[in-house]
Amino acid sequence: MKISVLTGEQKKYFMKEAILEAKKAELINEVPIGAIVVLDGKIIGRGHNVRELSQDATTHAELLAIKDANRKLGSWRLERAQLFVTLEPCPMCSGAILMSRIDEVFYGAKDPKGGTVDSLMNLLQDNRFNHMSYVESGILENECGQLLTDFFKKLRNRKKKQKKTSISDRSLV
Amino acid sequence: MKISVLTGEQKKYFMKEAILEAKKAELINEVPIGAIVVLDGKIIGRGHNVRELSQDATTHAELLAIKDANRKLGSWRLERAQLFVTLEPCPMCSGAILMSRIDEVFYGAKDPKGGTVDSLMNLLQDNRFNHMSYVESGILENECGQLLTDFFKKLRNRKKKQKKTSISDRSLV
């Protein structure tokens, strides 16, 4: 069985960088998900979810981090690279990981409704594809998950408040 | 069971447009795969594979056509749209179809080694995801497949020729 080239400390260090990316998304009211790509101990790609701002369905954190790494390296191949992401990847991002041949994937929180690395299936370790990635889950899981829980709680409260305001507006008519 | 909103003639017409995109890829020595996105009978997104030129692992035909459609509409949601692509989508592009909520997908040739709509699995009709797309295969299948067969044949011949030249070069030394 393959063992990651990174130490436990390195994994936490890089996941904190992915969390920093997630916080950039939160600041602009996007679902807080962040990702980075690492090669030889250096961050070569960064990305955070900007789907609402960009109105582009493909602007997930992982996809943007992969594109950034491709641009920095001048190559679509990321064969010796690691990807850190705060949430379990969706099918599109799992696919992008396979297409760019990323070697190792580390994620924080599970996505039971849409994750395709552990939750619904494992696209990254299906030997019928021409690439497979090493996967490790649960890196700073609580911190990664809490970001999402807090975001959706705030969103619900904001919506409730808006509803209340619109009802009281109507009562004035 | 859902039946497509398009007629057989319309499907052929739009697949020919996807084939035109694939031919653009071929002209620049990229694997000839093309895609278009259609809404209300109009083409709102076009894309062809440019992976080698861009050195970006995410620049598959479908992903670029979806991004183009998102840009044209100013929305990441393509809920009433159809996607036409010359080859069965890979996991990344199947995922992008789900993420953009495309309604109907039509493809030409099967990809037995990497296709995730019929060949290896069906990501587009898995009711655990929050979206499913109608799928129809085999639209102008022979023409779509022939483009790829011809491309790889030419590539092999070019490589053989290069090998021969390099051997005769060495014999001159």
What ipTM score was computed for the predicted complex, to two decimals?
0.93
The answer to whether B76 contacts chain A (CB < 8 Å) is yes
How close does chain B come to A96, measured CA to CA in Å? 5
Task: Give the tens place of pLDDT for each residue, A130-167.
Answer: 999 999 999 999 999 999 999 999 999 998 888 888 77
* Chain B residues closer than 8 Å to A74 by CB: 55
Looking up tokens 């507006």 gives A169
pLDDT at A3: 80
pLDDT at B164: 82
For chain B, state the CA radius of gyration.
18
Task: Give the tens place of pLDDT for each residue, A15-62.
Answer: 999 999 999 999 999 999 999 999 999 999 999 999 999 999 999 999
Q: In the predicted model, is pLDDT for residue B4 greater than 90?
A: no
pTM, full prediction:
0.94
pLDDT at A163: 83
**Per-residue pLDDT band at B110 (split at 50, 70, 90):** very high
8 Å CB contact of B63 and A58:
yes
Distance between CA B148 and CA B156 in Å, rounded?
A: 12
* Chain B residues closer than 8 Å to A116 by CB: 95
* Ramachandran class of B124: left when φ > 0, alpha when ψ lies in -120 to 50, beta otherwise: alpha
Residue B93: name the closest of A135, A94, A113 by CA: A94
Residues of B labelled as active-site residues = 62
pLDDT at B170: 67
pLDDT at A40: 96
Where along chain A do its domains lie?
8-168
CATH of domain B8-168: 3.40.140.10
Mutate to test the interface with A, among B37, B52, B55, B58 (most CBs of A within 10 A): B58
pLDDT at A131: 98
Q: How many A/B residue pairs have CB atoms within 8 Å?
A: 113
Cα B82 vs. chain centroid, distance in angstroms?
A: 13
Read off the amino acid at residue A110: K
User: Counting Cβ atoms within 10 Å, is residue A43 exposed (0-12), middle (13-18) or buried (19+)?
Assistant: middle
pLDDT at A98: 98
- The answer to whether residue A62 is catalytic is yes
pLDDT (average), residues B43-51: 98
Q: Which residue has the higher pLDDT, A72 or B164?
A: A72
DSSP A19: H
Q: In the predicted model, is pLDDT for residue A168 greater than 80?
A: no
